[in-house]
Structure formats: structure tokens, C-alpha cells
């Protein structure tokens, strides 16, 4: 995964509460053989509505999503995170996230930023016209209008995201340890 330090860009001011994983990616898209391409099914029910925010030219190329409480509630499908990746989203800002979605997002290099509702409301307003900046290292969200909000993040997850480490990446970082084990096995259990 690519390391995340600063995420800057336009944000989609969705703002809705309780966006569940069925809304993010409906079940009939789970038959796929890839993690790619799920963007076409992402937010399908919302996008079926004319003039919806996801297809608004104003937000074309946006890489941040701003939502309401309890984003990602519902099923455990990792396809939800894959779908956001496929839409080009690098971060979601919301007052709260479901635990499972939050973990899946983390595994897929998507930063989930938790801010108080008042801060989210201000960002929803700014996002209509201007870009937003997220600085993971300093744990801040800023706007061109001198807004500056700080957020909390688990130190372990921060470390992983800053260094672009997924679980596979972290274990790969222990390659020497694994090689050592393999050398020992080659001597002790050569039939394997």
C-alpha cells in the first residue's frame, strides 16, 4: 500500500447518517473475481437518483468523503472498502464509523477521520466550494479559511498508514525472521 501523509482535495459532502455497507456496495456486486471495478456499484441506490452528489461535476475527482454518524454500519463485506478505493477515495470524515468498516478501510489504506459533529458540519459547508487538507502526521484537518481541527487515531494504525504497511507488508518486513525459520526447517525437516 502507498504511504499516506497528506491527503488534499475536494470532498464529497454526503453528510447522511447510517450509511450502511449495503448502500456502499449492494450484495449483487459480490460475485466479482476482483477487488477492482466495484466503484460502478458503489452507492448504487443513491446514484439512481437524478442530480445526486456522486455524479455532480463539481465533485469530479474528489478523494475525500464526508458523512454522518455510523458510517459503514451493517455487514462485514470488505467489498465496501474495495468500492471506495475504486471510486478514488483516500479518506472518509465522519462523527463515527462502524468498527468492522473501520478495520476493513484500514486494511485497504483508507483513512477514517473521526471529528465532532460541529467540525463535520463546518467541513460539509466548505466542501461545497473548496478543497480540504488532511495531515495524518500532525492529525489535523484544515481548510483554506483557517479552520483547523485535530483528530485522534490509534498509534499502531497511524504508524502503518504513514509507512504504507498493511498486515502483509508488516509481515514481509519480518522477512529475515521468516527466512531464518525456513533455513532452520530446511535442516530439521528437509522433507518439506
**177 touches other proteins (CB under 8 A):** yes
**1 touches other proteins (CB under 8 A):** yes
Q: Which of 73, 83, 80 is nearest to 18 (CA)?
A: 73
Phi, psi of 9 (to 5 degrees): 155, -175
Minimum CB separation from other proteins for residue 74, in Å? 18
- Interior/surface letters 58-94, b for 16+ CB within 10 angstroms, e for the rest: ebeebbbbbbbebbbbbbebbbbbbbbbbbebbbbbb
Q: How far apart are CA 101 and CA 96, in angstroms?
A: 11
According to CB under 8 A, which residues from 92 to 131 bind other proteins? 107
Q: Are strands 64-66 and 148-150 parallel, antiparallel or unpaired?
A: unpaired
Number of Cα atoms under 13 Å in the Cβ half of residue 92: 32
**27 touches other proteins (CB under 8 A):** no
Q: Whose Cβ is closer to other proteins: residue 118's or residue 170's?
A: 170
Q: Which of 91, 87, 92 is nearest to 60 (CA)?
A: 87
**187 touches other proteins (CB under 8 A):** no
The stretch near other proteins (CB under 8 A) out of 14-22, 48-56, 139-147, 172-180 is 172-180
Q: Are strands 148-150 and 140-142 parallel, antiparallel or unpaired?
A: antiparallel
> If you ran DSSP here, which 8-state letter would residue 48 be given?
T
**30 touches other proteins (CB under 8 A):** no
Minimum CB separation from other proteins for residue 60, in Å? 24
**191 touches other proteins (CB under 8 A):** yes
Pattern of binders to other proteins over 62-81, x per CB under 8 A?
----------------x---
The stretch near other proteins (CB under 8 A) out of 4-12, 28-36, 66-74, 126-134 is 28-36
**192 touches other proteins (CB under 8 A):** yes
Q: Which residues are at the interface with other proteins (CB under 8 A)?
A: 1, 31, 33-36, 78, 107, 167-169, 171-172, 174-175, 177-178, 181-182, 185, 189-192
Amino acid at each position: 500500500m502507498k504511504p499516506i501523509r497528506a491527503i488534499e482535495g475536494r470532498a464529497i459532502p454526503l453528510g447522511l447518517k447510517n450509511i450502511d455497507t449495503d448502500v456502499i456496495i449492494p450484495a449483487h456486486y459480490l460475485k466479482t473475481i476482483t477487488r477492482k471495478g466495484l466503484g460502478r456499484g458503489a452507492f448504487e441506490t443513491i446514484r439512481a437518483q437524478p442530480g445526486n452528489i456522486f455524479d455532480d461535476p463539481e465533485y469530479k475527482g474528489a478523494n475525500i468523503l464526508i458523512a454522518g454518524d455510523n458510517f459503514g454500519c451493517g455487514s462485514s463485506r470488505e467489498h465496501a472498502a474495495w468500492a471506495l478505493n475504486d471510486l478514488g477515495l483516500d479518506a472518509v470524515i465522519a462523527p463515527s464509523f462502524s468498527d468492522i468498516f473501520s478495520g476493513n478501510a484500514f486494511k485497504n489504506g483508507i483513512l477514517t477521520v473521526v471529528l465532532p459533529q460541529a467540525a463535520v458540519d463546518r467541513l460539509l459547508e466548505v466542501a461545497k466550494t473548496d478543497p480540504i487538507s488532511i495531515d495524518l502526521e500532525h492529525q489535523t484537518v484544515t481548510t483554506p479559511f483557517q479552520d483547523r481541527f485535530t483528530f485522534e487515531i490509534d498509534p499502531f494504525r497511524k504508524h502503518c498508514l504513514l509507512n504504507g504497511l498493511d498486515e502483509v507488508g508488516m509481515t514481509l518486513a519480518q522477512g529475515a525472521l521468516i527466512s531464518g525459520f525456513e533455513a532452520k526447517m530446511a535442516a530439521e525437516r528437509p522433507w518439506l
